Amino acid sequence: MIGILALQGNYQMHSQMLDKLNEKNILIKNSSDLDGCDGLIIPGGESTVMSKMMHKYDLFDSIKKFGKEKGVFGTCAGLILMSNYDSENIIGLDLLNISVSRNAWGSQINSFTNKINIDIDNKIKNFEATFIRAPRIKRTDKIDRSMRILAYFKDEPIMIQHGLHIATTFHPEMHNDTLIHEYFLNIINENK
């Protein structure tokens, strides 16, 4: 069973993707909801709001602990929350050793969709990626060597994997293509 953090943002569409893959899923609003979950999705939305709510509902420490043992999949704001972000408004869970800049793809292009190539299971697969006020992963040259970059856009990493965790700067739940969700489920199932 996969948990989907449901404090704010695009959690419902992730649930639909998992339904399509016949994977049991539960919306997470309290830390006890995590009991029995094999993995967690942190959706896109507004990271400042989600960060605040994670603290308000005592989810910050429990998700951090969950992520030490189990896989977490973060998309857009979810990736920001998985990073080492540390500001007045957002404290990252530090599940991924990356720094990010928020809303970093320019102000007039707030949202765009592009065909990208993803390098998974030793194959290059096409995917339609939608970026909505997307973050950028900083300092790519210093990215941890144990971190795998699965996709690039304009020479910048947009999808990464570290152990059981994956994260995308784009929204993979928007175009009915379950490729990335399926990949996450495979990681989780292999490590059960």
Q: Return the active site residues.
A: 76, 171, 173
Nearest Cα residue to 121 out of 186, 40, 169: 186
The β-bridge relationship of strands 100-101 and 136-137 is antiparallel
Nearest Cα residue to 171 out of 98, 79, 61, 93: 79
Choose which of 5, 40, 63, 77 interacts with ligand GLN (CB under 6 A). Answer: 77
Which residues are bridge partners to 190 per DSSP?
none
- The secondary structure of 16-50 as a DSSP string is HHHHHTT--EEEESSGGGGTT-SEEEE-SS-HHHH
Pick between residue 26 and residue 104 the one whose CB is nearest to ligand GLN: 104
Q: Is 125 an interacting residue with respect to ligand GLN (CB under 6 A)?
A: no
| Structure tokens given for 62 | 């429990």
Q: Is 118 an interacting residue with respect to ligand GLN (CB under 6 A)?
A: no
DSSP for residue 172: T
Choose which of 46, 128, 156, 182 interacts with ligand GLN (CB under 6 A). Answer: 46
User: Which ranges constitute the DSSP H helices of 22-164?
Assistant: 47-56, 60-69, 77-82
Choose which of 3, 45, 67, 157 interacts with ligand GLN (CB under 6 A). Answer: 45
Tell me which residues in 172-191 interact with ligand GLN (CB under 6 A): none
Tell me which residues in 7-36 interact with ligand GLN (CB under 6 A): none
> What are the C-alpha distances in Å from 101 to residues 12, 26, 65?
26, 30, 25
Question: Of the listed pieces 40-48, 54-62, 63-71, 160-168, which binds ligand GLN according to CB under 6 A?
Answer: 40-48
The β-bridge relationship of strands 100-101 and 39-42 is unpaired
Pick between residue 104 and residue 149 the one whose CB is nearest to ligand GLN: 104
Choose which of 133, 136, 138, 148 interacts with ligand GLN (CB under 6 A). Answer: 133
Question: Of the listed pieces 32-40, 45-53, 60-68, 184-192, which binds ligand GLN according to CB under 6 A?
Answer: 45-53
Q: Is 132 an interacting residue with respect to ligand GLN (CB under 6 A)?
A: yes
Choose which of 47, 62, 161, 178 interacts with ligand GLN (CB under 6 A). Answer: 47
Residues at the site binding ligand GLN, with contacts judged by CB under 6 A: 44-47, 76-77, 80, 102-103, 132-133
